[in-house]
Structure 1
Amino acid sequence: MSGVAGVLLAAGRSARMGRPKQLLPLAGQPLVRRAAHALAQGGFDELLCVIPPGEVGEAVQAALTGLPYRFVLNADPARGLGSSLRAAVEALTEGRAAVLAGAHFALADMPLLTGAHHAALRRAFEASGAPVVLTEYGEPGAPDPVRAPPHLFRADLLGAVRDAPDADHGPRHVIRAYAAQALTLSFPAELLLDVDTPEAFAQAQARLGE
């Protein structure tokens, strides 16, 4: 199986943060670069980063200098995560010559995930042929684990991912439709931290020794 793409969704509006969270300094580098570097270590065949328009998008591109990403513009990130998914899928599929087996979607504001975590989803997908590989966070044996990105979707499902509603919940309709066939990997609950608020940013700084 070939052609598994890694996609970093970095076009968020940072409404709860009050400033562009992608560019917050964390452990000596912008938050988005930390996430992008981890994804780049996952062994994907190509890498794509969805960015917002204007100065923030330009700054994100500059922050990722030297990393092998192709950049795709989400012209209207105010429409929610669905608009970034649409931009990514269109960029991955339109006029494509190479075979695409699947796409792995990660968020730019989850700084505790490493390349090993992303690679685990890719390997599980390649070994199992599952239509969807999901991530859940929780302690072993604990009830009610939390399902959250990254998630990996087989190529034939990307049309449905593209058509996700323009909201901040992602392709839940695809996940529900294929839940019985999906493969789910469990990660420790502590890795779920996403930097959406100043309080979460302070937690990330504390966790990473700043």
Structure 2
Amino acid sequence: MTAPVCAVVLAAGGSRRLGRPKQLLPYAGTTLLGATLDNVRRQGFDQIIVTLGAAADDVAAHVDLHGLTVVINDDYGSGCSSSISAAIDHVDAAADGAVLLLGDQPGVQATAVHALVAAASGAPIGACRYRDGLGHPFWLGREIFPQLATLHGDKAVWKLIDAAGPGLVTVDVDGDIPIDVDTEDDYRRLLAQTDYAHVTGRAR
């Protein structure tokens, strides 16, 4: 039997640089997190885990979380590593690992996700290699779950990526790293890119 494929979507952040809950920013006829989750749902995962923290009640009231495994991270202020640690306990026991995605990055392509799963399943860690560098989604193999549980801070998972050396599985993606929204400038760039794609049928 094929092992189930799990996604972990990080959406617990406090949006400190933005100054308002980025999960609820209007985007693509819904919210930023809603659009991201709609995209993830279309990618055929057997399980989708989403972590919430800041503004969790408002997010739950305005974003469709039906069918998802929702994990509340009360320690979200310590960084996204705490959300990863909280989420991995809920990954299906039969899964080889999980695909890590960002709740503020709605532009991840299904082809990138599928290529990553195909290449990295069974490996400890994997990432997408875009034209402008490495980026999400990441593959986190079950064998590194104990390490993930001990991480601290916002960029700790990147330390595992950097330390993996030749053990890091990468897949090439034809395009730049999809925009993730941390600031108002990021949000404006995302809206401008989306408007461009809507008019022309392609990304910049």
TM-score by length of 1: 0.84
Query: Among 124, 138, 142, which residue is 1:131 paired with?
Result: 124
1:19 is paired with a residue whose SS is: coil
Partner of 1:198: 184
1:71 is paired with a residue whose SS is: strand
In the TM superposition, residue 194 of structure 1 has moved relative to its aligned partner by 1.2
1:178 is aligned to 2:177: no
Q: Deviations over 1:131-183 (max 9, x none)?
A: 22211221xxxxxx422221011111111122112x11032343244331221
In the TM superposition, residue 118 of structure 1 has moved relative to its aligned partner by 2.1
Query: Among 95, 101, 117, which residue is 1:106 paired with?
Result: 101
Specify whether residues 77 and 136 from structure 1 end up closer, same or farther in structure 2 by C-alpha distance, changes over 3 A only.
same
Partner of 2:84: 85
Alignment check: 8 A CA contact 2:133 2:177 kept: no
Specify whether residues 78 and 120 from structure 1 end up closer, same or farther in structure 2 by C-alpha distance, changes over 3 A only.
same
Counterpart of 1:34, as a letter, is A
Higher RCO, Cα 8 Å, sep 6+: 1
Counterpart of 2:81, as a letter, is G
Which consecutive unaligned segments of at least 5 residues does structure 1 have? Answer: 139-144
Counterpart of 1:161, as a letter, is L
Partner of 1:163: 150
In the TM superposition, residue 8 of structure 1 has moved relative to its aligned partner by 0.4
Specify whether residues 34 and 44 from structure 1 end up closer, same or farther in structure 2 by C-alpha distance, changes over 3 A only.
same
> Where does 1:1-210 land on structure 2 (aligned, <5 Å)?
1-53=2-54, 56-65=55-64, 67-92=66-91, 98-126=93-121, 129-138=122-131, 145-165=132-152, 167-209=153-195
1:50 is paired with a residue whose SS is: strand
Specify whether residues 170 and 60 from structure 1 end up closer, same or farther in structure 2 by C-alpha distance, changes over 3 A only.
farther
Which consecutive unaligned segments of at least 5 residues does structure 2 have? Answer: 199-204
How many residue pairs are counted as aligned between the two chains?
A: 195
Alignment check: 8 A CA contact 2:31 2:63 kept: no
Distance in 2 separating the partners of 1:72 and 1:118: 22
TM-score by length of 2: 0.86
Alignment check: 8 A CA contact 1:132 1:153 kept: yes
Counterpart of 1:112, as a letter, is G
2:84 is paired with a residue whose SS is: helix
2:85 is paired with a residue whose SS is: helix
Alignment check: 8 A CA contact 1:40 1:115 kept: no
Distance in 2 separating the partners of 1:66 and 1:158: 25
Q: What is the Cα-based RMSD across aligned positions, in Å? A: 2.0
Specify whether residues 173 and 62 from structure 1 end up closer, same or farther in structure 2 by C-alpha distance, changes over 3 A only.
same
Partner of 2:202: none
